[in-house]
Amino acid sequence: MTKALQMFPDKCTSCLMCEMACSLENEGLFNPAKSRIKVFEFEHGRTSVPYTCTQCEEAWCLHACPTNAIVINKATGAKEVIDDKCVGCKVCTMACPYGTVNYNSATGKVIKCNLCGGDPKCAEVCPTDAIVYVEQEAAQ
């Protein structure tokens, strides 16, 4: 059975440790702007919501990609971007109804959550368990 990220906004303190861990794991530096997970704040910081790719079954990003640069990782179920195939056209960013596929201007490629190969760092570092990695049935 595959696993999924589950978010609990009521537990999020907006510490941004998830963003820092994600950017370090995927970009090699602490830079929340390059993170594949974001924490959105509402009501001037009274409510914080961690948000990233839901790895949806529809996978509009995958189907929209003209170069087949987005593939399904059979082990994790993550829809992953293959950098060598990505031409940076951004069609997938427009196809994603959730806004979780982003363009990285430094590389000219798109980035999205890849579940860190089955060991998501955002869930690992979250001090309040606002982000957990659970069996997919439990996440629903």
| pLDDT tens, position by position, 73-111 | 999 999 999 999 999 999 999 999 999 999 999 999 999
pLDDT of residue 93: 97
Range(s) within the chain of domains with CATH label 3.30.70.20: 1-52+117-132, 56-112
The CA distance from 22 to 125, in Å, is: 10
Task: For domain 1-52+117-132, give the fold.
Answer: Alpha-Beta Plaits (3.30.70)
The domain 56-112 is classified under which CATH number: 3.40.50.2000, 3.40.50.2020, 3.40.50.1820, 3.30.70.20? 3.30.70.20
- For strand 131-135 and strand 3-7, is the pairing parallel, antiparallel, or unpaired? antiparallel
Position with higher pLDDT, 46 vs 1: 46
Per-residue confidence (pLDDT) for residue 43, from 0 to 100:
82
How high is the pLDDT of residue 139?
Answer: 59
Residue type present at position 54: T
Are 79 and 71 in contact by the 8 Å Cβ rule? The answer is: yes
